[in-house]
Amino acid sequence: MTSTSTEDSAGPLDDVVVLDLSRVLAGPYATMLLADMGATVIKVESPSGDETRTWRPPETDGESTYFQAINRNKRSIALDLKDEADRAVVDRLLARADVLVENFRPGGLARFGLDYDSLAAEHPHLIYASLSGFGHEGAGAALPGYDVLVQGASGLMHVTGEPDGAATKAGVAVCDVVAGLHLYGAILAALHERGRSGRGQHVQANLLSSMLSGLVNQTSAAANTGVSPQRMGNEHPSLFPYGPFPTADGQIVIACGNDRQFVRLCRAVGADEAAEDERWTSMSGRNAHRDALRDVLCDRLRRADSAQWLDRLQEAGIPCAPVNDVVESLDYAESLGLQARAPITREDGTTSTSAAHPVSWSRSTISHRSAPPRCDEHRDEILRWAEAPAAE
Distance (Å, whole) CA 22 – CA 26: 8
Distance (Å, whole) CA 323 – CA 305: 13
179 Cβ contact partners less than 8 Å away, ≥ 6 residues apart: 26, 131, 205, 206, 207, 210, 211
Distance (Å, whole) CA 46 – CA 384: 20
**Dihedral of alpha carbons 138, 141, 142, 148, sign:** positive
Distance (Å, whole) CA 216 – CA 350: 41
Distance (Å, whole) CA 383 – CA 257: 56
Cβ atoms 234, 160 nearer than 8 A: no
Q: Which residue type sits at 123?
A: H
Cβ atoms 14, 7 nearer than 8 A: no
CB atoms within 10 A of CB 307: 13
Distance (Å, whole) CA 33 – CA 312: 38
Distance (Å, whole) CA 265 – CA 254: 9
Give SS3 for 21: coil
Distance (Å, whole) CA 169 – CA 149: 10
**Residue 44 pairs with which residues in a beta bridge?**
77
Distance (Å, whole) CA 167 – CA 145: 20
| Catalytic option among 176, 259, 277, 380 | 176
Using alpha carbons only, give the angle 148, 136, 375 rounded to the nearest 5 degrees.
65
Q: Annotated catalytic, 299?
A: no
Active-site positions read 176
